[in-house]
Amino acid sequence: MQQVLDTCESKMLKSLESLSKDFAGLRTGRASASLLDKIRVDYYGSETPINQVATVSVPEARMIVIQPWDKSVLSAIEKAILKSDLGLPPNNDGKLIRLNFPPLNEERRKQLVKSAKNTAEQSRVAMRNVRREAMDELKKLQKSGDISEDELKDAESKIQKMTDSYITQINSLSDEKEKEIMEI
């Protein structure tokens, strides 16, 4: 029974971490180095994250500066950014790349909020699926006689509390992201 609870907790935590990463990659009009985390650069034949071939800094609120350690990678970084869905044109001066973030208009903000809410809802659904799987597993254990009906009810109660806790965290992350997106 404890193994089912531990597995459930682990899956819910992974789902919450995934949501946090997704939100970190959602452009809000404010520069954040985490926006580049998913972008891979062709570095001598292998796909490498940008932060492993260059220094990524945020000198001001609306700019990211990428300074490669090896100048020959500059064009590969530029191509990778252009291929990504960031929607930001890189400015290459031969030594480093600058990404300037234009202020978001109202329509784009609303689209981003809608996208964030969609992502949060997908995460809530994932939590409910984990809960359902754990409940099914507990019922199998009870049918096979490994746990009593009282233990089943106790475990179901713990799983429901766990689910409620994680969904509250999802709602909190979603609200924070929405507030961040709507800031001017």
User: By C-alpha distance, which of 70, 76, 72 is closest to 90?
Assistant: 76
Q: How far is CA 74 from CA 37, 64, 65, 86, 91, in A?
A: 17, 15, 12, 18, 11
DSSP single-letter state for residue 102: P
How much is the pTM?
0.69
In the block, residue with structure tokens 């969904």: 167
Alpha carbons 55 and 97: distance in angstroms, whole number: 11
Q: How many residues does the chain have?
A: 184
Pairing of strands 90-92, 97-100: antiparallel
The residue behind tokens 């106790």 is: 154
pLDDT digits (tens, 9 = 90+) for 19-54: 888 887 776 667 778 888 888 998 888 898 988 999
pLDDT at 13: 93
CA 76 – CA 47 distance, rounded (Å): 11
Going along the chain from its start, the domains and CATH numbers come out as 1-26+105-183 (1.10.132.20), 33-100 (3.30.1360.40)
What does the pLDDT look like over 72-131, one tens digit per residue? 899 899 999 888 877 788 999 988 999 888 777 888 788 888 989 999 999 999 999 999
Distance CA 19, CA 176 (A): 13
